[in-house]
Homo-oligomer: A and B are copies of this chain.
Amino acid sequence: MNIVIIGGSFAGISCAMETRKLHPKANIYILEKQSTIGFIPSGLNLTLNEEIEDITQAYFVTESDVRRANIKLHLDSEVTAIKADEQKITYYDHVNQEHKIMAYDKLVLAMGSRQESSILHDWSHPQLVTTKELQNAANGYAKIDKAQHIAVIGGGQIGIEVTEALVNANKQVTLIEAETSLLSRYFDQDVVDSVQEAIEIVGVDILLDEKVMDISGKSLKVTTTKRTLNPDLVILGVNLSPQSHLVADLLPLNEDGTIVVNDYLETAITNIYAVGDLVQTPTFEEEQAFIALVNNAVRSGQIAAFNLFEPRVKHQQSLRLIGSRVFSQYITSVGQTEIEASQHYEVSTVNVETPYSITISDPVKLKLITDSKTGKILGAQIRSEQDILSMADTIAIAISNNLTDQELAFQDRLYYARFTSTQPIIYLAALRSFENRLRNTK
């Protein structure tokens, strides 16, 4: 029994490890075209911020973890063709420089995503780095070291985390974002304003509502809708696309380049599954979307493992949780933003602020988004200088179980004098929302 997984990032490795748990005797292979696996996306930031000593620590799993689980790991192995009728794949072994063939009983596609952009004439420009490359290459560090003025394109989570790391490394940074606010996919503008201020205070130029039209020239010229810049280096933090070209002729794709799968992550061809950034994820309001988040990748890899021999676990809804610590602020978002939710609901919001604990007076600020008719919890955004990230997990379960503000308000919770007030902020926000709703429906 050969189970072959193409791609050794989060989704592929999660799938392999879970398959090992479920099928102790199967032969499990991972074919990865790069020469390493398991690198975490924030590795470069952790290194630049000196939170870890060395970039070699920034792995969520190591080769030896994988091999210890008796998973056959083929690095530098690039799959070049899939022959579905024969259940075989062809791959090129870059080390031995030869083509090889492998038979599979079950094939899991986990090639992930890469950054693509039509504005770029020369992807191999020496002064251009993608954040995906930064994750995988220590030489990204060397390029940063030599540059003084760096333009970061994309004000999402990755772009902002990279910006912070660059500021800590004493670089002059220009952050360019096409939308009118930072992190706009996950946070409403009123919540993210304080993050923007914190970034500007340390001297970063933030260019909002400004789209990069062209990057070119030997001396690196960045042209936006409003100006021209000449940075020493450009870091591109945008435009992830599913890396599905290998199967473009074999399998039906969605418009965004993801592979069409059923509820159990099986593709149109029997015995071929797709996971991670190669597939859409069920999301709010019964829609499906391409959501390139690690949590989705890990879950979909595990779910596919359960379904290899019979359909057992459906692909799960993404509540699009993200959390970060940027410029001394912890921020996290779960569920829909106010703007998104307003497309489907008459929305109510409450903003609540409490001290972190009886001994730590730093404020915690929570914005709760609900359906004003039923009180259903739709989303939440939280920020503090204290670590409040785990609150997102609690609210996530409330959202996925369709809890109302009333139900969340009176949900049992921990009281602990040092660290939680008698009225922890999640439940207080839900209570305020419930009170407002009662008042408005009178």
Tally of contact residues, A, Cβ under 8 A? 74
**Residue picked from A21, A60, A394, most chain B C-beta under 10 Å:** A394
Partner of A421, one of B43, B60, B293, B396: B60
A35 neighbours in B (Cβ, 8 Å): none
Q: Bound state CA distance, A414 and B390, in angstroms?
A: 7
Partner of A58, one of B296, B324, B358, B389: B358
Kindly provide the distance from the CB of A335 to the nearest chain B CB, expressed in whole angstroms. Answer: 10
Query: Is A40 in contact with B417, judged by CB distance below 8 angstroms?
Result: yes
Kindly provide the distance from the CB of A62 to the nearest chain B CB, expressed in whole angstroms. Answer: 12
Give the nearest-CB partner of A423 in chain B: B298
Q: Bound state CA distance, A51 and B324, in angstroms?
A: 28
Partner of A52, one of B316, B322, B358: B358
| Interface hits, A104-138 → B, CB 8 Å | none
| Interface hits, A405-432 → B, CB 8 Å | 406, 409-424, 426, 431
Query: Is A303 in contact with B410, judged by CB distance below 8 angstroms?
Result: yes
Query: Is B414 in contact with A392, judged by CB distance below 8 angstroms?
Result: yes
Q: Bound state CA distance, A42 and B320, in angstroms?
A: 38
Q: Bound state CA distance, A52 and B358, in angstroms?
A: 9
Q: Bound state CA distance, A394 and B414, in angstroms?
A: 10
Please tell me if A257 contacts chain B, counting CB pairs below 8 Å: no
A401 neighbours in B (Cβ, 8 Å): 397, 401, 403
Give the nearest-CB partner of A49 in chain B: B418
- Give me 18 A-to-B residue pairs in the complex whose CB atoms sit less than 8 angstroms apart, sorted by A's number: A14-B422, A14-B423, A22-B435, A41-B417, A46-B417, A46-B418, A57-B358, A60-B358, A293-B415, A294-B422, A295-B413, A303-B410, A323-B416, A334-B414, A390-B414, A393-B413, A396-B412, A396-B414
Please tell me if A179 contacts chain B, counting CB pairs below 8 Å: no
A394 neighbours in B (Cβ, 8 Å): 390, 393-394, 397
Please tell me if A384 contacts chain B, counting CB pairs below 8 Å: no
Kindly provide the distance from the CB of A381 to the nearest chain B CB, expressed in whole angstroms. Answer: 13
Kindly provide the distance from the CB of A307 to the nearest chain B CB, expressed in whole angstroms. Answer: 12
**Residue picked from A293, A294, A325, most chain B C-beta under 10 Å:** A294
Q: Bound state CA distance, A411 and B392, in angstroms?
A: 12
Query: Is A393 in contact with B426, judged by CB distance below 8 angstroms?
Result: yes
| Interface hits, A41-66 → B, CB 8 Å | 41-43, 46, 51-52, 57-58, 60-61
Query: Is A414 in contact with B359, judged by CB distance below 8 angstroms?
Result: no
Given A323-B416, A397-B403; 20 other pairs, CB 8 A cutoff: A40-B417, A46-B358, A46-B418, A52-B359, A294-B422, A302-B410, A313-B406, A313-B410, A316-B411, A321-B413, A324-B416, A332-B414, A389-B414, A391-B393, A394-B394, A396-B412, A397-B397, A400-B411, A400-B412, A401-B401
